[in-house]
Amino acid sequence: MSAVTINRTTDDSERNPDFILCHQPPDLFGVVVFVSILAAAVFASWLPLQISIVTVFLFAGPHNWFELRYFLMRLPVRFGRSRNFFLTAFAGLGVLTLAYVSLPFVYNTQLWGDEAWSTIIAGWNTALLFWLGLLVWLRSRQKRRANWTWTIPAGLALCSLNWLGPDSFSLALVYVHPLIALWFLDRHLRRTRPAWLRVYRRCLCLLPLVLAAMIWQLTQSSPLPDSNGLFWRITQHSGAEMLPQVSSHLLVSVHLFLELLHYGVWIIALPLIGGLAGARVWDVKTVPVARHPRGFPRVVGMLLIAGFAAVVVLWFGFAIDYSTTRDIYFTVAMAHVLAEAPFLLRML
């Protein structure tokens, strides 16, 4: 039994340079995750608008930088057999982001009626689902044992629901996206700290219970004030206009709770669990694609510096005009939402 274990860990170490044998009991990790989930729920329910403003100001930019670094860590030096997968991923990422960023300009031309606008939104969502389907298909070709054919009817069903309610589908993306970070953490733990995986998954079971408690507690709460432009933006982002029968306090709190977990995973959990390589986030040489003899240290370094500059610019923007910067950020940030898909598929 022990021989099997030793062989397995050796294989894992070879496949994953950041694999660290961990003999510490996972209880402390479980306690930290448990307390974090509860704390996020309490703060999000208590002062949703105020904490949303502070959270986005402080963590929105840095969490994108940490994501960029994490994706660079996962990028192979040569694409090899995955060439088509990565080409499709980057092409789709570029086209879909450009199309998404252009949507506000299209809307401002006022050439389209409500119905035509819904069709445009449904069209973009369909393109997104098609791109995801294509990536799943390309990835499934590399995994002979896996049977991912069920994703075809699932994708078509999602497409159908999207055409029934394009705005509802877009709102669902807003709520589902933060949960993807938890999936990343699950896969990362499986690779680097398998001993912690069981505790982590038990903590995840707490999530629906916490959400149910929040809904139960806030469902009868008064709607949040949306008297000024900023508060109005925050409530709209959480779907207050689309769901007038649901308290905006509940919507903003649930969305903020998920966002807090999302930021926590990207900024705290993943870098710390990554061990020394993850802790020295400023060191370009900790990124495999830069460390490799045939790698690209300058490109990686420039990307990380440019990302850091963007974070600083974002902070200045928030300090000068919070509302406008928030609008611009959440439009451009679609790129990081899309980028998560191919890298998550690579980890499956």
Query: Which chain residues interact with other proteins by CB under 8 A?
Result: 114-115, 118-119, 122, 149-150, 152-157, 159-168, 219-223, 226, 241-242, 244-247
Least CB distance to other proteins at residue 156 (A):
4
Q: Which two tokens stand for residue 119?
A: 């069709």
Q: Which residues contact 178 (CB under 8 A, 6 or more apart)?
A: 255, 258, 259, 261, 262
Element (H, E) at 322: helix 322-332
Q: Which two tokens stand for residue 274?
A: 């990554």
Q: What is the DSSP string of 91-140?
A: HHHHHHHHHHHHHHHHHHTT-S-HHHHHHHHHHHHHHHHHHHHHHHHHHH
Least CB distance to other proteins at residue 167 (A):
8
Alpha-helix residue ranges (DSSP H) falling in 109-228? 114-142, 151-164, 166-192, 194-218
Chain length of the chain: 348
Nearer to other proteins, 161 or 347 (CB): 161
Question: Could you tell me which of 75, 86, 87, 53 has the C-alpha nearest to residue 292?
Answer: 75
3-state class (DSSP) for residue 3: helix
Least CB distance to other proteins at residue 234 (A):
14
Nearer to other proteins, 5 or 160 (CB): 160
Question: Could you tell me which of 66, 129, 29 has the C-alpha nearest to residue 278?
Answer: 66
Least CB distance to other proteins at residue 333 (A):
24
Nearer to other proteins, 62 or 123 (CB): 123
3-state class (DSSP) for residue 26: coil
Give the span between the Cα atoms of 227 and 222, in whole angstroms: 14
Half-sphere exposure (Cβ direction) of 258: Cα atoms closer than 13 Å: 19
Scanning the structure block, which residue is given the tokens 């001993």? 195
Nearer to other proteins, 116 or 319 (CB): 116
Nearer to other proteins, 164 or 213 (CB): 164
Least CB distance to other proteins at residue 253 (A):
14
Least CB distance to other proteins at residue 169 (A):
11
Question: Could you tell me which of 338, 314, 312, 309 has the C-alpha nearest to residue 326?
Answer: 314
Nearer to other proteins, 22 or 103 (CB): 103
Nearer to other proteins, 133 or 317 (CB): 133
Nearer to other proteins, 172 or 206 (CB): 172
Least CB distance to other proteins at residue 149 (A):
6
Nearer to other proteins, 57 or 137 (CB): 137
Torsion on CA atoms 66, 267, 40, 232, rounded to nearest 10: -30
